[in-house]
Structure 1
Amino acid sequence: MNNKRLVTLVTIFILLFSLAGCSGQPAGNEAQQEQNQDKGQSAKTSLVYNLGPQPRTIDPATCDEVYGFTVIDNVFEGLARYDKKGNPEPGMAESWETSGDGLTWTFHLRDAKWSDGKPVTAKDFEYSWKRALAPDTASPYAYQLYYIKNAKAYNEGKADASEVGVKAIDDKTLQVTLESPTLYFLTIVSLPISYPVREDIIKEHPEDWTNNPQTYIGNGPFKMTEWVNNDSFTFVKNENYWDAQNVKLENLTFTLMTDENTALSAFKSGEVDYIDIVPPLEIPNLRDEGLLNTVLTMNTTMIEFNTTKKPLDDPRVRKALSLAIDRKTIVENITKGGEKAAGGLVAYGFPDAEQGKDFREVGGDYYPVDRADVETAKKLLAEAGYPDGKGFPKLTYIFNDRSTNKEIAQALQQMWKQNLGIDVELKTEEWQVFVQDVISGNYEMTRMGWQAEYVDPIAMLELFTTGSPNNDPRWSNKEYDELIKTAKTSTDQRARMEALHKAEDIIMEEMPIAPIFYSVKQNVVKPGLKDYIVLPNNGVVLFRNAYWEN
């Protein structure tokens, strides 16, 4: 990372990813294109991207889904931002340094403005971070700021905001004091939870500031001009962005289509330039046409078991349900997009202690990924008191409304019936209802996809610590919590990775989640689109430098 003291060590620590850009073809009004070409201008300066479901929130402090993050990451910017290769580079901060003990980071802000022309100051960051940590905000990702001194105590109501280790020294200088040296802290200040928001606007419009383009003021490359509920977002280039000279798109639209076939039809008709939800049956044709670009992301699609519900409070039942799944059949016959059958919680792509080694490869698979282990699954279910499924209650598996999710659910239902002799009811829910049911614990089994927010295995493993807002299974294990704590506070990379491998051993033994596959991002883009960025950790698409090639 670009840090005066930690650059070498952190560069080794962070795995470098080449982010996807692919070529494409301009679409739109031909007469206008010809007119622009006659003027020597780019033929197309607008882009329509299908986001998918409407986000539940686009507040950087409370968002917890990739759809919302995609909006946020194109409207806001943190102290650091991701470059084309996926590494943090200067964003709102043009430089920074650390103290000799690694506990104090000092960030020096550049001359930057909000989209309404007001200057971005260090005070904006101090306010925003403390707002995200405030107990009343109920931020699901507040824990990502726990590296800061007294941040956890404040979030838990055990300390005052004034005790949190973030302070604006002056308008251009932000000083951050950490609980312990954190090698990857620069990745934390690149996350949405650390983006600045406007105190004056939020105080005047505390409940609905994100709903109105007039109050949704950002400091990033684009600014929102319209939001049509359940239809689309519209953005224009933010002329006040510090790097506006490198923002080539003048207009950006996010449509909100959730059905893969509908989105593909819109793409083929020219209404949409870029989609990343694709009907599995169409993948071979799109690949042959040169329109498909596949990116393996650090995203694990899994089943979450509500461990507070009987009989799912018994790890033998959870393991039986997991081992009865034929993951190879799902990725080869249903998803068909290059997904990898998952043999553990942490996906491929995360660095291990030894340079060049991958955490997943070092950890290996915890069960067969090329078949169901029916014998062991049946034995475990019998030990739990349900031989051949006798007496097993009917459970309900919920999932959000996408056709692929339905096909996977039906395959799981059949596998559990055939391999364990149990009946499972399927229930489809609209996205926002689905997410609320999962968050509130109103489910027994559910489909969920989790992506890493930064390139370290702890980004996945810390989700399931006791009390984590993202611990949907409501699972708790003290040894697991201690191992995650060790990995967070140690500056010895080998000790960190050893602790994280042991933590994964525990969660895969108790199985509050059943990984199914490691996801991919299927990008279908019209030829000619260049320099868009797909973040490999979470699949968010950045259009900061995107442009259409003539």
Structure 2
Amino acid sequence: MSKKKYGFTMISVLLALALVAVGCTPKQESGSSEGSVFRMNLATEPPSLDPAQVQDQVSATVVNGLFEGLTRKNEKGEVEPAVAKEWKISDDGKTYTFTIRDDAKWSNGDPVTAGDFEYAWKRALDPNLKPAASAYAYQLYYIKNAEAYNTAADGVTADDVGVKAVDDHTLQVELNSPTPYFLGLMSFTVFYPVHKSVKENEQWATDVSTLVSNGPFKMSEWKKNNSITIAKNDNYYAKDDIKLSKVVFSEVNDSNTELSMYQTGELDYAGMPTGLIPNEQFPTLKQNNPDEFKIQGSASIYYYLFNTTQKPYDNEKIRQALSMAISRQDIVDNVTKGEQKPAYGIVPPGIKGEKEDYRTEHPDNYFKEDVEEAKKLLAEGLKEEGLTAMPTVKVTYNTNELHQAVAEAIAEMWSKNLGIKTEVSKQEWGVFLDNRNHLNYDVARGGWGADYDDPMTFIDLFSSKSGNNNTGFANKEYDALIKEAYSTDDQAKRMEAMSKAESLVVGTRAIMPIYYYSTVYMIKPGFKGIFIDYKGDIDYNRGYYEAK
């Protein structure tokens, strides 16, 4: 999922010292009957809170508190029962029968039924879904006839899709092939149920009064472009496990302001996955707040996308030249400064492989940085395009200080190493996503984090069927390798097919890998049960505040 943001802005030493000196006592309600409040920053307005439309981490951070799927994942990344209290898997691994718990309810008190899941999944697959087709519909293609329905092929209808509510408490799902990570997928946003009331209201997810949800929290207040408050859902089946009375999300897109809000007690959490901490402050924060300042690796990648339908970026040699002419180590050492790792592949460390970490089993040595070779490739590519010089490279990114700093560093490297001029520009998050989705760019910033613990969550991103493939890249060999990996539960064969696919897309440089993320954040003492998972997402649902 598109993700990861934190800021990079130079501020004075005086301001830095002042921020560090401010008191850090959180303003809590832990002694009241309401429970405690957890406050964090989203940095921007979520583009959508409709599970079928979510395609970014800002939206998912809110939606993951409002909704719940058949399964959920604990701090170790292990699958646990959620709305489904149990399930059975057929001997051939292709049929799943989920039993919906009797006490599952919507925030308005209506029962959550198997039919709500069937409707939600088929709704996400509907090619005529409004206001837009689901970018994540392809994640449902594991289900029998799901792809055919979504692509309006051969007269297949929603009735033919292999998901059926046998009764209110029994959901049966037929897959095309055994899928080892299918239960993990059940905790992902596009698989969440939606309430039957959405049928009559396309704008249901934009208004507090019509947003009915089934998760630990429900919508309480939404001040557009300012803040969102979600409150404990007393109709949630496990309400006794939910200790927070509210989660309040600010929308402040400035790293210095966010840090100041944290230091003055207006926020309980600052930094990634959705917020901003000035990275020049890392050493001071680490020294002065060792119990609060944290850095951990996450299974996610930061990269640039090339619009392969746009000249001259449709030329493979030009894309290769641009990718080979930068120093990733310099970027992570001098710009990001958060213990990130240079990336030369798509799949980051921390994703399961056949027996251990996939990245260990398949090292990301798909290419090397080489300025002289880049110059040669650029000259050859320009000649093939009938150009005597490279046009100004236009790089776009969503408003964020770190993205700007990375873009400016890369622009300087391209200028120094290739003699290329670069124009960098920022766009508001929703506008940026829309332009990227519609290939309205030359080179654009991208980021992706795992949706489930398998390399496929990164590999099928660039298939021709992926609604999140914003590069224009389409390759029959690549699609065939993905199909091969889909069609078998032999882990060795799956991993080999995905490694070949990764080599192909990185080799052609449809994208330019830059670095593998780390998650940098601060959290106030006393908060328990709130964690950053293996993929860098925050889980606050079972969080609580414990005063010392």
**Normalising by structure 2, what TM-score?**
0.90
Q: Which amino acid aligns with 1:70?
A: T
Counterparts of 2:431 and 2:179, CA distance in 1: 37
Asked if structure 1 preserves the Cα contact closer than 8 Å seen for 2:24 and 2:262, the reply is no
Q: Match for residue 86 of structure 1?
A: 77
CA contact (8 A) 1:25 1:529 kept: no
Distance 1:127 1:426 in 2: 43
Structure 1 distance, partners of 2:56, 2:343, is 21
Which residue is 1:60 aligned to?
A: 51
**Counterpart position of 1:196:** 193
Contact 1:344 1:360 in 2 (8 A): no
Q: Which deviates more from structure 2 when the two are superposed, residues 432-441 or residues 90-99?
A: 432-441
Residue matched to 1:498 = 496
Q: Show the counterpart of 2:116.
A: 124
**Distance between the aligned counterparts of 1:341 and 1:56, measured in 2?**
30
Quick check: 1:26–1:528 contact (8 Å CA) kept in 2?
A: no
Partner of residue 104, structure 1: 95
Residues 359 and 457 of structure 1 are in contact (CA less than 8 Å); yes or no, is this contact kept in structure 2? no
Which residue in the other structure is 2:474 paired with? 476
Q: After TM superposition, list the pairs within 5 Å mapping 1:144-223 onto structure 2.
A: 144-158=139-153, 159-199=156-196, 201-206=197-202, 208-223=203-218
Q: Which residue of structure 1 aligns with residue 255 of structure 2?
A: 260
Find out whether 1:28 has 2:27 as its counterpart: yes
Structure 1 residue 88: deviation in Å? 1.3
Give the C-alpha shift of residue 366 in structure 1.
2.2
Distance apart, 1:386 and its partner CA = 5.7
- Matched-pair contact (CA < 8 Å) for 1:81–1:190: yes
* CA deviation after TM superposition for structure 1 residue 150, in Å: 0.3
2:483 is matched with 485
Indicate if the aligned counterparts of 1:295 and 1:520 stay in contact, CA closer than 8 A. Answer: yes
Match of 2:444 in 1: 446
- Mapped contact 1:299–1:452 kept (Cα < 8 A): yes
| Preserved CA contact (<8 Å) 1:307 1:473 | yes
Q: Which residue of 1 aligns with 2:8?
A: none
Distance in 1 between the 2:257 and 2:534 partners? 26
Q: Quote the offset at 1:385 in angstroms.
A: 3.1
Match in the other structure for 1:9: none
Equivalent residue of 2:372, what SS? helix
Match of 1:544, SS state, is: coil
Q: Which residue of 2 aligns with 1:366?
A: 366
Question: Which shifted more, 273-282 or 60-69?
Answer: 273-282
Could you list the per-position Cα deviations for residues 437-488 of structure 1 after superposition, in whole angstroms to 9, with x for gaps in the alignment? 1111110001111112111111001011114221111011110110011111
Deviation at 1:295, TM superposition (A): 2.3
The CA deviation at 1:527 is: 1.1
Q: Is the 8 A contact 1:248 1:546 kept in 2?
A: yes
In the TM superposition, 1:9-48 aligns within 5 A as 27-28=26-27, 36=31, 45-48=36-39
Alpha-carbon displacement from aligned partner over 1:181-213 (angstroms, at most 9, x marks no partner): 1111101211110100012x212322x111111
Are 1:69 and 2:60 counterparts? yes
Counterpart contact for 1:76–1:219, Cα < 8 Å: yes
- Single out whichever of 441-450 and 357-366 deviates more from structure 2: 357-366
Aligned to 2:373: 376
1:84 shift after superposition? 2.1
Q: Does 1:243 align with 2:238?
A: yes
Counting matched residue pairs gives 511
Counterpart of 1:196 in structure 2: which amino acid? P
Paired with 2:204 and 2:467, the residues of 1 have a C-alpha distance of 24
Note the C-alpha offset of 1:375: 1.2
Offset, 1:362: 2.2
Q: Which one of the candidate residues 452, 456, 459 is aligned to 2:457?
A: 459
> How much does 1:390 deviate?
4.8
User: 2-side partners of 1:357 and 1:123: how far apart?
Assistant: 38
Matched residue of 2:478: which SS?
Answer: helix
Tell me the residue number matched to 2:86: 95
- Among 217, 221, 229, the alignment partner of 1:226 is 221
Summarize deviations over 1:21-76 as a string: whole Å, max 9, x none.
xxx975117xx77xx3xx8x79x611111122111111000110001011111010
Superposition RMSD in Å: 1.7
TM-score for both structures, normalised by structure 1 = 0.90
Cα distance, 1:535 vs structure 2: 2.6
